[in-house]
Structure 1
Amino acid sequence: MKLSVVIPAYNEEESIPETLRTLYATLKKYNIDHEICVTNDNSKDRTEEVLKSLQSEIPTLVYFTNKGPNGFGYAVRYGLERFSGDCVAVMMADMSDDPEDLVKYYNTMVEQNVDAVFGSRFIKGGKVYDYPRLKLFINRIANFIVKLATGIKTNDTTNAFKLYKRETIEGIKPFMSPHFNLTVELPLKAYVRGYSYAVVPNSWTNRKYGESKLKIKEMGSRYFFILLYCMIEKFFSRGDYMKKK
C-alpha cells in the first residue's frame, strides 16, 4: 500500500529541510513505498528554492505551488487533490510531528484495515513538548466539546496529524474549510459518514523556527461552524452521505 504524505508549507525555509530529510530517512528505513507531497502555499521566503534543491537528495519528494487562494486549509486541499498513494497522511512542515508515529499509523491501518487512523497526544503513550499553556487549555476545552457533541471516540480531534485511505478522502468530499478548521472537518466527516478508524498515541513538539500560523482568535467561530455542520449532517441528513457498504 503506497503512502502519500501531504505537507502544507508557508514560509518554512528554515524548518522544511530537517522535516523532509527525517521523514524520508524514516520511511526508507521501514521500506514503506511512499511519496512526500509538499504544497508551497505561495511562500514569500525561499521555501520553493529549498524544495527544488531537496529534490536531488529526496527522490520521493514532489512539490506544488498553490498560487491562491491561500491558507492552511486551501494548501492541504491542494495536496489532497493531487496525491497518488492508496492512503494519505497530513503532517506539519515545522517538525512538530514525529515520522516514527506515522509508521505506527501506517502499520495500524494495514493490520486493522481501518479507513482512517487518528493520532492523540492526550492518551497513554502520547506526549507534548513545550506546548504553550494557553493553547493547551483552549485545546482541551475545544476537544471536550467536540467529543461531547458528536460522540467521536477520540480526545484530540483538532490534531491535524492523521491518516486516511484514498476511498475515505473521496467519500468525505467536497471540502469546505479554507483554514485550520479543515483539521476538524476531515475526521468529523469520516466519523459521521460511517468510516472506521483507530486511535493511536502520538507526540508533538513545538516548532524550533518561525512562528505558528494558527491564530486562535480568528479560528474559534470557524471551528464551531464545522462542528455545527457535521452535527447537522449526522442528525438530519438521514444517511444520504454515509459510506457505501
Structure 2
Amino acid sequence: MKLSVVIPAYNEQESIPETLRTLYATLKKYDIPHEIWVTNDNSKDQTLNVLYELSREIPTLVFETNKGPNGFGYAVRYGLERFSGDCVAVFMADMSDDPEDLVKYYKTMLSENVDAVYGSRWVKGGKVIDYPPLKKFINRIANFIIKNMMGIKYNDTTNAFKLYKRETIEGIKPFLSPHFNLTVELPLKAIVRGYTYAVVPNSWTNRKYGESKLKIKEMGSRYFFILMYCWIEKHFSRGDYMKK
C-alpha cells in the first residue's frame, strides 16, 4: 500500500530540510512505498528554492506551489486533491510530528484494516515536548467540548497529524474548511459517516524555527462552525452521507 504524506509549507525554509530528510530516511528504513507531497503555500521566503534543492537528494519528493487562495486548510486540501497513494497522512513541515509515529500509523492501518488512524498525545504512551501552557489549556478545553458534543471517546481531534485511506478522503468530500479548522473537519466527518478508525499514542514537539501559523483568536468561531456542521450532519442528515 503506497503512502502519501501531504505537508503544507508556508515560509518554512529553516524547518523543512530536516523534516523532509528525516521523514524520507525513516520511510526508506522501513521500506514503505511512498511519496512526500509538499504544498508550497505561496511562501515569501526561500522555501521553494529549498524544495528544488532537496528534490535532488530525495527521489520521492513531489511539490507544487498553491497560487491561491492560500491558508493552512487550502494548502492541505491542495495536496489531498492531488496525492497518488492508497492512503494519505497530513504531516507538519516544522518537525513537530515524529516520522516513527507515522510508521506506527501505517502499520496499524495495515494490521487492523481500518479506514483511518488517529494519534493522541493525551493517552498512555503519548507525549508533548515544550508545549506552550496557554496553548495546551485551550487545546484540552476545545477537545473536551468536541468529545462531549459529538459523543465520541477520542480526545485529540484538533491535531492535524492523521492517516486516511484514499476511499475515506473521497468519502468525506467536499471539504469546507479553508483554515486550521480543516483539522477538525476531516476526522469528525469520517467518524460521523461511519468510517472505522484506530487510535494510537503519538508525540508532539514544539518547532525549533519560526513561529506557529495558528492564530487562536482568529480560529474560535471557525472551529465552532465546523463542529456545528458535523453535529448537524450526525443528527439530521438521515444517513445520506454514510459510508457505503
Answer whether TM exceeds 0.5 for this pair.
yes
Counterpart for residue 211 of structure 1:
211
Q: Give the unaligned 5+ runs of structure 1.
A: none
> In the alignment, is residue 160 of structure 1 matched against residue 160 of structure 2?
yes
Q: Please give the secondary structure, in 2, of the residue aligned with 1:211.
A: coil
C-alpha displacement at 1:152, in angstroms? 2.2
Which residue in the other structure is 2:98 paired with?
Answer: 98
**SS of equivalent to 2:163:** strand
Q: Match for 2:195: what amino acid?
A: Y
Q: Distance in 2 between matches of 1:191 and 1:58?
A: 35
Match for residue 131 of structure 2?
131
Matched AA of 1:94:
D
Structure 2 partner of 1:3: 3
- The answer to whether structure 1 residue 174 and structure 2 residue 174 are counterparts is yes
Q: Which amino acid aligns with 1:197?
A: Y
Gaps of 5+ in 2: none
Q: How much does 1:211 deviate?
A: 0.4
- Give the ranges of 4+ consecutive aligned residues of structure 1 lying more than 4 Å apart after TM superposition: none
In structure 2, the partner of 1:24 is 24
Question: What is the DSSP-based 3-state SS (H/G/I as helix, E as strand, rest coil) of the residue aligned with 1:67?
Answer: coil
Partner of 1:82: 82
Q: Sequence identity of aligned pairs in percent?
A: 86
For 1:101, the aligned partner's letter is D
Deviation at 1:153, TM superposition (A): 2.5
SS in 2 for 1:122: coil
Cα distance in structure 1, aligned partners of 2:166 and 2:64? 19
Post-superposition shift, 1:55?
A: 0.4
Distance across 2 between alignment mates of 1:201 and 1:240:
32
Q: Deviations over 1:147-190 (max 9, x none)?
A: 00102221000010000000000000000000000000000000
Deviations 1:126-154 (A, max 9, x none): 00000000000000000000000102221
Query: Within 2, Cα distance between the matches of 1:127 and 1:86?
Result: 29
User: What's 2:121 paired with?
Assistant: 121
Q: Which amino acid aligns with 1:149?
A: M
> Which residue of 2 is the match for residue 151 of structure 1?
151
Q: CA RMSD in A?
A: 0.3
Matches within 5 A, 1:15-54: 15-54=15-54
TM-score by length of 1: 0.99
Report the Cα distance in structure 1 between the residues aligned to 2:232 and 2:99, rounded to whole angstroms: 35
TM-score of the superposed pair, with normalisation by structure 2:
1.00
Counterpart residue type for residue 139 of structure 2: N
1:151 alignment partner AA: G
Between the aligned partners of 2:203 and 2:179, the Cα distance in structure 1 is 23
